[in-house]
Amino acid sequence: MPQTAARQVVANSARDRILLTAHDLFYKEGIRATGIDRVIADSGVAKLTFYRHFPSKHALVLAFLDYRHVRWMIWFNDALQRNGGAARGVAALAPALAEWFGSADYRGCAFINSVGELGGSEPDVAAIARAHKQDMIAAIANLMPGSRTRVRDANALGMLVDGAIIRAQMDGSPATVLKAFDRAVKALMAGGD
């Protein structure tokens, strides 16, 4: 999801400024690498103001993930529709992902990254990430006609999406990743039972 999509909330309040600053820093530099003092300084709020809105870094991380989930799902559903939606079916996935992978600020999935950083020590983070992935899979299922294998196929496609996200982050070559992704999607959908 391009950062501009994530910034659709206007940072009028101190809370919004803190949240948007944390969003950008956590996504770009990582949660563990970003200290509260940096968020406070970059958001231009006083320490007391920060703690009035977010009593702990944990609370800020959960708010960041909630914000990211809402913004990303809006973007994902819109991108799927821009690329043909249910009329085009799962063929809409690759061009939607291409929009995201090609953005200058692409750094992978905030949820996969967060679980990688914090999952073992923060069960709330892992739970939010699982819920996010279930919503992503539901959006993928909405591209598919009803069938007895729809849920199973949507889950498999979700795994392919996650794999493509990670490979695009590691390889730095979205075109190659998307070509392999498209091939895997076609093979999965042609496989039947």
DSSP 133-181: HHHHHHHHHTTS---TTHHHHHHHHHHHHHHHHHHHHHH--HHHHHHHH
The per-residue pLDDT for 85 is 93
**Taking the domains of the chain in order of start, what are their residue ranges?**
3-191
What pLDDT shows up at residue 192?
55
- The predicted pLDDT at position 5 comes to 46
Rounded CA separation 109/114 (Å):
8
pLDDT of amino acid 3: 52
3-23 confidence digits (pLDDT tens) = 554 444 455 799 999 999 999
Give yes or no for a contact between 128 and 111, defined as CB atoms under 8 angstroms apart.
yes
Read off the pTM. Answer: 0.90
Q: How many whole angstroms separate alpha carbon 159 and alpha carbon 58?
A: 28
Enter the tokens of residue 72.
């990303």
Q: What is the pLDDT of residue 12?
A: 75
Q: What is the pLDDT of residues 27-76, one digit of tens each?
A: 999 999 999 999 999 999 999 999 999 999 999 999 999 999 999 999 99
Average pLDDT for residues 148-169, to the nearest whole number?
Answer: 96
Mapped onto helix, strand or coil, the DSSP state of residue 23 is helix
In SS3 terms, 62-78 reads as: HHHHHHHHHHHHHHHHH
Per-residue model confidence as pLDDT tens digits over 93-147: 999 999 999 999 999 999 999 999 997 788 999 999 999 999 999 999 999 998 8
Label residue 146 exposed, middle or buried (CB < 10 Å: 0-12, 13-18, 19+).
exposed
Burial class, 34, CB count within 10 angstroms (exposed 0-12 / middle 13-18 / buried 19+)? buried
**CA atoms of 82 and 78, how far apart (whole Å):** 6
> CA gyration radius for the chain?
18
The amino acid occupying position 34 is: T
| pLDDT value of residue 119 | 74
Query: Rounded distance, CA 7 to CA 18, Å?
Result: 12
For position 149, what pLDDT does the model report? 92
Which amino acid is it at 153? Answer: D
* Alpha-carbon gap, residue 46 to 142, rounded angstroms: 45
Fold type of domain 3-191: Tetracycline Repressor; domain 2 (1.10.357)
